[in-house]
Amino acid sequence: MSSQARDGGYVVFDHVQKSYDGQTLVVKDLNLDIAQGEFLTMLGPSGSGKTTCLMMLAGFETATHGEIRLDGRNINDVPPHRRGIGMVFQNYALFPHMTVGENLSFPLEVRGMGKPERADRIRRALDMVEMGAFANRRPAQLSGGQQQRIALARALVFDPKLVLMDEPLGALDKQLREHMQFEIKALHERLGITVVYVTHDQGEALTMSDRIAVFNDGRIQQLATPSELYERPSNSFVAGFIGENNALQGRIEQLQGDHTLVRLGDGTLIDATAVNIREVGQPTTVSIRPERVEFKPEMMPPGAHTVEAEVLEVIYMGDILRTRMRVADSDDFVMKSRNTVGQIRLAPGQKVKVGWHKQDARALDPVEAGYIPA
């Protein structure tokens, strides 16, 4: 079977399901194609099914139903060590009694590689992660960031075509985590390997990925590029999980094509782009990104939609000011503005008009726990 078996996928999940107890599905009919050389991130909250998918691809879990293919080959019954897949874990999984060089040598020895070639590959892999001088150290002598680099080198030392990463940066501090994000992405682009990356950190996913599969309740909610997910979320879960989001509850008042008029709980009418909206009267959540909200008339785009707002709280965050407001019947409406010279500082209790471009308001499915006005 060719690797082009279904939509050109190098990695293919074909109607894959997983249940641990024979009743509850933790992965529900997953269909996913990953292109060769792609950096795909599986993103979602705990229990959404993303890590189970990665473990099935690695061979540590078995699919209850469906087929997983790698380069056109069904690997459902292939043991992990015969899949030729590199793996990086959050806890590094380095052997503490071995030196760095010995840790990297182990997967090569398992593959029956001779000593001279092992030495050459180990040297190349350590240089790749800028750890060439650490071959004789033991893991306990390394910092967390250094250990993660070694774990990455070990996953790459046997030249796998596919590398899986399970929350690999979760144990690092913020600054080092951000630095490693760029290093891993640069390595991916330089080597041309296929990477499947699992995280619950949406900032990490946006920074590193070619595409992101957003998981919830065992299903992919949306599969798209980072910009597509952020700018055009297809439902309320994605809008709320990817970045900060204002969610105004209302009902569809008018509907014409992809344009709709929404009546909020206090009677306010706002224009929005309809996403999977079917009929007038349907409850909806209007999604608006905080950085798209303006309160200065001269900054508002032509044809901007404006509403009355009351300032509740202003938080100084260095490069931005985060202003929480009351809009309609929501006390959690947020505006983010850049901290620039001459920036007008609002104060709690102040009444202002805020606005946004009509295309930046998206009418989505209702938030389940949200109040839906009658």
- Asked if residue 261 and residue 217 are part of one domain, the reply reads no
1 lies in some domain: no
Residue 355: which domain range? 244-364
Tell me, yes or no, whether 31 and 80 share the same domain. yes
In a domain, 374, yes or no: no
Residue 238 lies in a domain: no
Q: Which two tokens stand for residue 307?
A: 């509403």
**In the block, residue with structure tokens 């056109």:** 72
3 within domain boundaries: no
- Is the same domain home to 298 and 357? yes
Q: Are residues 213 and 180 in the same domain?
A: yes
Same domain membership, residue 284 and residue 223: no
Whether residue 76 is contained in a domain is answered as: yes
Residues 224 and 263 in one domain: no
For the entire predicted model, the pTM comes to: 0.88
| 223 lies in the same domain as 271 | no
Mark whether 254 and 144 lie in a shared domain: no
Q: Going residue by residue through the chain (374 aa), what tens digit of pLDDT does each one get?
A: 333 334 568 999 999 999 999 889 999 999 999 999 999 999 999 999 999 999 999 999 999 999 999 999 999 999 998 898 999 987 778 889 999 999 999 989 888 889 999 999 999 999 888 888 999 999 999 988 888 889 889 998 888 889 999 988 887 788 888 888 888 898 899 889 999 999 999 989 999 999 999 999 999 999 999 999 999 999 999 999 998 999 999 999 999 989 999 999 889 899 999 998 889 999 999 999 999 998 876 667 666 788 999 999 999 998 899 999 999 989 999 999 888 877 778 899 999 999 898 889 999 998 754 333 33
Sequence-distant (≥ 6) Cβ neighbours of residue 108 within 8 angstroms: 117, 118, 121, 122, 157, 158
The reply to whether 237 falls in a domain is no
Q: Do 313 and 226 lie in a common domain?
A: no
Instruction: List the strands of the sheet with 11-19, edge to edge.
Output: 25-34, 11-19, 65-70, 73-74
The answer to whether position 2 is within a domain reads no
CATH number at residue 37: 3.40.50.300
Instruction: Specify the CATH number for the domain of residue 317.
Output: 2.40.50.140
Instruction: Answer whether residue 151 is part of any domain.
Output: yes
Q: Which helix (H) or strand (E) holds 12?
A: strand 11-19
Name, in order, each residue with C-beta under 8 angstroms of 193's C-beta and a sequence gap of 6 or more.
Answer: 37, 156, 160, 161, 162, 163
